[in-house]
Amino acid sequence: MWDPTLLTLLLLVVYGLALFCVLRILLHYRTAQGAIAWIIALLAFPYLTLPLFFLFGRNRFAGYIKARRSGDEALNQLLSVFSEEDQLTRIPDSADPSPELRVLTRLVGQPFTRGNHCTLLKDGKETFEALFDAMENARHYILLEFYIVRSDKVGQRIKSILKRKLDEGVKVYFTYDDIGSVWLPRNYLKELTQAGARVAAFGDGNVRRRRFQINFRNHRKLLVCDGTVGFVGGINLGDEYLGTLTDHLAWRDTHCRIEGPAVMGLQLAFVEDWYWAANDLPRFNWSLQPCPGSDQEVLVVPTSPADRFDTGTLFFLNCINNARQRIWITSPYFVPDLQVVNALQLAALRGVDVRILIPENPDHKLVRLAAYSYLVQSSKAGIGIYRYQPGFMHQKVVLVDDRYAAVGTANLDNRSMRLNFEIGAVVTDSDFVADVRQMLEADLRQCRPMTPEDYSQRSMAFRLACRAARLLAPVL
């Protein structure tokens, strides 16, 4: 039998730890909804909740902040490339037709750069062809950072190109998220390492610093070649984005190719992540090189749980609150918090054309159920929610009026806004924005508009399941 004294001691320790966690939550919580849920669970079921809290309850990626600060001097020297007064950098002034862009530059600590050329890549085939071509033409170095890397046809093609470029003397730096790429064979990485590539997982190299922080994920997808050409968007390295897998729905996704000074923003984000993963600051090209014959203005927007602000949330709120004619957002997951829901409602009530494009069949059932729960309050305000029919819509695109568009990695959910490392590019060029609008109009023609009846006329059990799923929004 258990000694009553030991049981009492164990009880005191467990509840003592639970109270300690409650104090941490009260001092550092970022959303009241998430804080209340954790506090109730910790006090009611401490034995079950304590280990979950240590794994999923952290809301700041403290180790990354520490690593970033320890490298401040070197990283700040890199960032100074953007802050110097230069004909290729510009912070929009008071005469700018989109003054909210000044907020974005202050939010991310970078200015818009001029002299860029951006190409919208509307599907996986187009994107991979451009990625392969850029790597084949690299002369000095290749930087890859992807959430998911697979050892399928696309992954093998990437590996083949990288090994060949290494033989030519091109340096390769490759980082991936150890959770997103959990099924990537070790032999794949071993081959690259043996060929001379520098490879680092976002978490594996820092087990001591990252312990109890598995809820944070590096969701970025970017490629930089020689500091002059870069890519960012929603596409990971896998065959599913080609739509050739017979056992998967075709994935609908979007990427963006950038040539010009804005590539420095992608490169800086990579260097910060690499410094965390490998504790190393490699030498790269940091000169601002304009793209001949093009003068597009671009701002790279990296967001992370290591930021001073909830950068992801503030980015979306800024876009929504400043929309005048339209705000169209595509996301595979529609599980917004109350701030974003309210902002969308106010925009619709102002007369803004608010449209949210989501997949008919997401890859997570809880996310699909949670999205239904927003239907009634969305429709009352005039928000249109559209479900993409042909396949799984995975793209992350924002269109604000005809003034600017963003292509990136962030979803419209709590994880992207507060827990993930994300990145995107904001482009103000009218031709690029027109391309985005035409692309989304084509997508909308393949969507089914949702109605309140899709929710209200379903069974009580279904509606309860939707509401329950919505309660899990802070951790979805």
Q: What is the pLDDT of residues 358-395, one digit of tens each?
A: 998 877 777 777 777 777 778 888 999 999 998 899 99
Range scoring the smallest mean pLDDT among 133-147, 155-169, 413-427, 446-460: 446-460
Catalytic residue among 122, 219, 253, 310: 219
- Please identify which of the residues 307, 396, 413, 429 carries the catalytic annotation: 396
pLDDT at 370: 77
Query: For residues 2 and 9, what is the distance between their CA atoms, to the nearest angstrom?
Result: 12
Q: Which of 29-33, 258-262, 341-345 is predicted with the least confidence, judged by mean pLDDT? A: 29-33
Check residue 140 and give its pLDDT.
97
The angle formed by the CA atoms of residues 409, 255 and 189, to the nearest 5 degrees, is 75
The two counts, helices (H) then strands (E), for the chain are: 19, 21
Catalytic residue among 177, 226, 253, 310: 226
**What distance in Å separates the CA atoms of residue 221 and residue 131, rounded to the nearest whole number?**
12
Cα separation, 475 vs 420, in Å, equals 12
| Catalytic (active site) residue 394 | yes
Residues 6+ apart with CB under 8 A from 237: 146, 148, 149, 150, 154, 155, 158
Q: Is 226 a catalytic residue?
A: yes
Active site residue 396: yes
pLDDT value, residue 65: 57
How many C-beta neighbours within 10 Å does residue 45 have? 12
Catalytic residue, candidates 307, 401, 429, 443:
401
User: Which DSSP letter does residue 417 get?
Assistant: I
Q: Which of 394, 413, 429, 443 is catalytic?
A: 394
